[in-house]
A and B are shown apart, each in its own frame.
Chain A
Amino acid sequence: MDKIVDRCLAGFLLLFALGNLIGLPYQEWAQRGGPKVLAPEFFPELLLSALAVAALILCVLTFALRPYDTDFEAPRWSGLLLGLALVLFALAVPTFGFVPSAIVLCLAVMLAMGERRLIVLASVAILAPVSVTWIAGRVLHVVFP
């Protein structure tokens, strides 16, 4: 399982590097007389090439080394779903406003963590966003959407 995960990681990194190397849409500043190394794409190209090499080495090591041990730890649904909930929260802020979105986020996190007491759910989900944004608004003069 560890080997497969690292092979997938190596494959992803390789695809990312090669995809960007092939599809870099930058203008060729070097063609206007400057040396190639000062072109806007040169440094990213250098890094992407190094990343492709690192990915290849990682892939080769998964075949060459025995026994193979890695840091892989299987993700859990709770972590993944909450991560996606955070992205949704950030996307919802411009439309629904910071405080209402934060209230829903707090509720979701507390429910995911196993909190079921209604009074605690309601008080924390409302008090935390309202108080933090009120303080930030008063002290830092921030206007929230």
Chain B
Amino acid sequence: MEFVEIGWQVLADPHNVLMVAVGLLLGIVFGALPGLNAIVGVALVLPFTFSLSPVAALSLLIGLYKGGVYAGSLPAILLNIPGAPEAAATSLDGNALVRRGLGAKAIGASLFASVSGCLVGDLFLIAVAAPLASVALRFGPAEFFALFVFSLSIVGAVSGRSLTKGIAAALLGLIVATIGMDQITGTARFTFGVFDLSGGISLLSLIMGVFAISEILIQIEESRKTPAAETASPAAAGASPTAPGPGKHLTFREIGSLLPTVLRSSALGAFIGAIPGPGATTSAFASYALERQLSDTPDSFGKGNIKGVAAPDAGNNATCSSTLIPLFTLGIPGAPIAAVFGGALMIHGITPGPSMFNSDPTLVTALMIMFVVASLFLLPVGLTASRFSLKLLALPRSILYPAVLVLSYTGVYANSSSTFDLIAMSVFGLLGYAMRKVGLPASAFVVAFVLGAPMESAFKRAMLISQGDPAVFVASPISVLFLVLTVLACAAVVWQRRRSAASVEGRNSGKPDDAAM
């Protein structure tokens, strides 16, 4: 009853609804541009939300996130250039449909699957978040510390090709989080006499540097490698994949036949999203693989099967909401986008985690409602904006990227009015670029940075309670469970990677490849 009441209050404010629509539009723009994605979009817009109320600001970011994830499939389908890694699975059949002149059908299936996936993910979030948060409230500091160790190991293990490098990146993120004053003694750590470092590293400059700036640097390199790609629009290619014509659009009959695929993939995507670590790319490929396995005509996948578009898009979009479940219920960002959202909540004075449900139940309910509203709005906004966004694909990158750079720096300066944050952002941009080049997963680094302060706090509180006895971390069955799960999960990742590497190697030469360690 309270849910409905708060829902009416939130929806009665046209400002919130308008923010969702604006967010969706911006998200579609960011998602449709190859190289930019939902994470970069949310990070870029975040500093401009300070003057908004928390509900309006988060509505804008939710819309942007959902629009960005959906629109990542547009360049994947039309140009065979995935706007984001999670859209790569969609390009397999989506672009094959475009080449057969069925682009409008592919885009229709993508939109239908995205909206359905989003809604299933939202319902999963609403159903699971509150009960899980009430369980998490019973955790003590030792249990939380063990949970943080577990989450970081998982994120580190699955976010790159090497487990060791993933864990090293996570440790670097935790070390960077300790820069500044110690929480208990006020002693400066890693400041090297620089006064600006005594307050620690600004979350926004780190996120913008590691995600946005490094991405732009990589894209600038890529554009120099393949200059022809910058104007490779469908129109330029001489094709008109979305032009209306008989039999080109998705029919109601086809929607009906896609429904089981979409529901299956959405359920799988929502479940995978709730686990810290795997993320949207895993959801998309797992949904695609499941649908291909269940199909009577598995050979048609990759050659323009409409289910090959719907399955990954439904799975990918269902992950949108459920990937925030660990953040909302445990305070743990299980994916890079959750780390950015966690930052957004903190910037607006809300501490993500189970206490949020007690301290600010109205805001939590409003957030859940705005997730559903954004999913529902995605259908009309997506229908309208898809055509417009196609024109963006023709925008030269030599004009786009300088403008995005200026916007990034303006946003960070607007947040703190500190020129030091501009330097920090540039340095973290270079660091993110270097990490990508040597294969250190930047997502593990950022997630660890966000978790750093609460992890140290949990560690110190546990130690205070136990008067310095480290046995406190194995005293409770819950913390033992998480520590055992950490070891098992790392072992499973290593075993699974060695097995898949060995099978690939076996097909080629019969020798095993151990690089997955």
Contacts and interface: CB of A to CB of B under 8 A. Distances in A.
Given A47-B174, A72-B437, A124 B221 contact: no
Given A37-B468, A58-B168, A114-B227, A109 B401 contact: yes
Interface residues of B, number: 74
B402 interface: yes
A20 B182 CA distance: 16
Interface stretch (B23-31, B359-367, B427-435): B427-435
Contact of B405 (A5, A68, A105): A105
A75 B414 contact: no
B449 interface: no
A102 B182 contact: no
B178 A47 contact: yes
A44 to B, nearest CB: 5
Contact of B429 (A29, A78, A86): A86
Nearest to B182: A40
Contacts of B184: 29, 38, 40
A137 to B, nearest CB: 9
Q: Lowest 10 CB-CB distances: which A-B pairs, in order? A: A71-B439, A35-B468, A40-B182, A69-B515, A65-B514, A40-B187, A90-B422, A115-B398, A113-B398, A106-B402
A80 B224 CA distance: 13
A18 interface: no
A6 B402 CA distance: 33
13 contacts: A26-B182, A35-B463, A37-B470, A40-B189, A75-B433, A79-B220, A83-B426, A86-B213, A90-B419, A113-B401, A132-B407, A133-B410, A139-B48
Contacts of B403: 106, 124, 128, 132
A126 to B, nearest CB: 11
Interface of A: 5-6, 9, 13, 20, 26-27, 29, 35-41, 43-44, 47-48, 50-51, 54-55, 57-58, 61, 64-76, 78-79, 82-84, 86-87, 89-91, 93-94, 98, 102, 105-106, 109-110, 112-115, 120, 124-125, 128-129, 132-133, 136, 139-140, 142-145
B399 A125 contact: no
Contacts of B517: 61, 65
Contacts of B439: 70-72
Given A43-B460, A129-B406, A142-B414, A51 B224 contact: no
Contacts of B224: 76, 78, 112-114
